[in-house]
Amino acid sequence: MNQSPVVKTVFYVNIFGLDIFREVLNTRPDLRFVGLRDDSPEAEASAVLASASVYHISSSARDMVPQYYLNEQLLARAPRLLLASAMGAGYDPVDVAACTRAGVLVVNQAGGANAEAVAEHMLAMMLALSKRMVEADRNMRRTANVVRAHYLGRNALGKTVGIIGYGHVGRRLAEMCKAALRMRVLVHSSQDLGAAGVEQVSLEQLLRESDYVNVCCALSERTRGLMGAREFALMAPHAVFVTAARGGIHDEQALIEALLTRRIAGAGVDVWDVEPPPLDHPLLQLDNVICTPHTGGATIESRIQASEDAARQVLAVLDGQRPPRLLNPEAWPLFAKRFEAQFGFAPSGAPAA
């Protein structure tokens, strides 16, 4: 007599991405897909947490109340949890170290269309700042007889771009800058770049020699406050600063002061300490700053691919396979023991170190 498969619960809070995520999961009869809200009754939430195998969680902490951040407290309420699946490249609401200690894998959706979207966003900001497009646009809308000589820009061809962090976004941005604009590419990264066709340099050299400084690294305790007053002071007066990484990597007040004192020429900012920023935020008042509300990765193509990739990665883990975007491989041994205890078979091999 065949046994019924163990039903595995995948839950989310408030949002889960595009419908394709649910459609892929719904092809499997052994999955239960459940949504909670910030204000879900405690009894309902407790029942879902107690049975959940997967938490498909927003990449942004602002999309849920703190009680649903994945930390030690929530892990204690979810004893069967095996996987935390971030909807996008970021995983701000997830305490990865706590998940590792609990034997819970953490995955994200970095790379692919999301990396392409962010890299294109940063390049667009670089070019718009070089050509002073936003300054000219704003002044044409409020000033008669604009003097075009006041908006003399610069060509990007052959200039030097500095890229801080060399993951999926940094690599793609470097490719575009080299191929389209024949730029010299300086990279500051803790990893060995090998024969990447770029120059690996110290942060100080990158800041001094770059016409464009781009932040492409993840937010961590090591990178928090990486760009402060000292770092902006090292940049050339004609240089621009661009970030679509995470708020907190740059010091907002230091950036404001660097712009007000013309220490640097302009900035493109897609990420903020508080998102969205308040209307009276000083950066929103400056014409030489391009401001976007964390939309660097928000394209139709990136959202579709991220939702589908996330669903297939969830299925892979629940089938005992190694996920392609594993953030904490050191959690695998304990995860494997817990997986086998729940489902009666061992997952198929440890991930690469």
Does 49 lie in the same domain as 165? Answer: no
Strand ranges inside the chain, DSSP E: 8-13, 31-36, 52-57, 83-86, 105-107, 160-164, 184-188, 199-200, 212-215, 240-243, 266-269, 289-291
Q: What is the pLDDT of residue 349?
A: 65
Q: What is the pLDDT of residue 220?
A: 84
Residue 1's pLDDT band, with cuts at 50, 70 and 90, is: very low
| 59-63: average pLDDT | 87
Does 134 lie in the same domain as 277? Answer: yes
Rounded distance between C-alpha atoms, residue 84 and residue 11, angstroms: 10
Does 190 lie in the same domain as 206? Answer: yes
- If we measure between CA atoms, which residue out of 112, 208, 227, 214 comes closest to residue 173? 214
pLDDT > 60? residue 324: yes
- Residue holding tokens 């781009």? 214
Residue 125 inside a domain? The answer is yes
| 325-339: average pLDDT | 96
* Total structural domains within the chain: 2
State the virtual CA torsion across 162, 274, 113, 65 in degrees, nearest 10: 150
pLDDT > 70? residue 257: yes
Residue 350's pLDDT band, with cuts at 50, 70 and 90, is: low
The single residue of 72, 275, 301, 340 carrying the catalytic annotation is 275
Does 201 lie in the same domain as 84? Answer: no
Does 121 lie in the same domain as 85? Answer: no
| 142-162: average pLDDT | 93
Interval 14-30: pLDDT, tens:
999 899 999 999 999 99
| 262-290: average pLDDT | 96
Residue 353's pLDDT band, with cuts at 50, 70 and 90, is: very low
Does 139 lie in the same domain as 275? Answer: yes
CA distances from 330 to 201, 218, 327, 335, 336 (A): 30, 19, 9, 9, 11
- If we measure between CA atoms, which residue out of 179, 157, 175, 178 comes closest to residue 166? 175
Q: Sign of the C-alpha dihedral, residues 199, 201, 206, 208?
A: negative
Any catalytic annotation for residue 263? no
Does 199 lie in the same domain as 104? Answer: no
Q: What percent of the chain has pLDDT over 70?
A: 97
Residue 4's pLDDT band, with cuts at 50, 70 and 90, is: low
Rounded distance between C-alpha atoms, residue 254 and residue 283, angstroms: 11
Q: Which of 270, 291, 312 is the last residue of a domain?
A: 291
- If we measure between CA atoms, which residue out of 164, 81, 108, 96 comes closest to residue 339? 81
Tokens of 160: 């030097």
| 48-72: average pLDDT | 94
pLDDT > 90? residue 188: yes
Residue 15 inside a domain? The answer is yes
Does 269 lie in the same domain as 194? Answer: yes
Q: What is the pLDDT of residue 327?
A: 94
Any catalytic annotation for residue 294? yes
Residue 301 inside a domain? The answer is no
- Which CATH number do you get for residue 186? 3.40.50.720
Residue 215 inside a domain? The answer is yes
Residue 218 inside a domain? The answer is yes
Residue 267 inside a domain? The answer is yes
Q: What is the pLDDT of residue 90?
A: 83
Q: What is the pLDDT of residue 191?
A: 83
| 237-259: average pLDDT | 97
DSSP 254-297: HHHHHHHTTSSSEEEE---SSSSPPTT-GGGG-TTEEE-SS-TT
- Structural domain including 182 reads 112-291
Does 334 lie in the same domain as 259? Answer: no
Average pLDDT, the chain: 93
Residue 306 inside a domain? The answer is no
Q: What is the pLDDT of residue 178?
A: 96
Tokens of 38: 């910030």
Rounded distance between C-alpha atoms, residue 269 and residue 276, angstroms: 12
Does 179 lie in the same domain as 139? Answer: yes
Q: What is the pLDDT of residue 3?
A: 55
Does 129 lie in the same domain as 36? Answer: no
Does 233 lie in the same domain as 153? Answer: yes
Residue 312 inside a domain? The answer is no
The single residue of 246, 250, 263, 338 carrying the catalytic annotation is 246
The single residue of 171, 172, 294, 303 carrying the catalytic annotation is 294
Q: What percent of the chain has pLDDT over 90?
A: 83
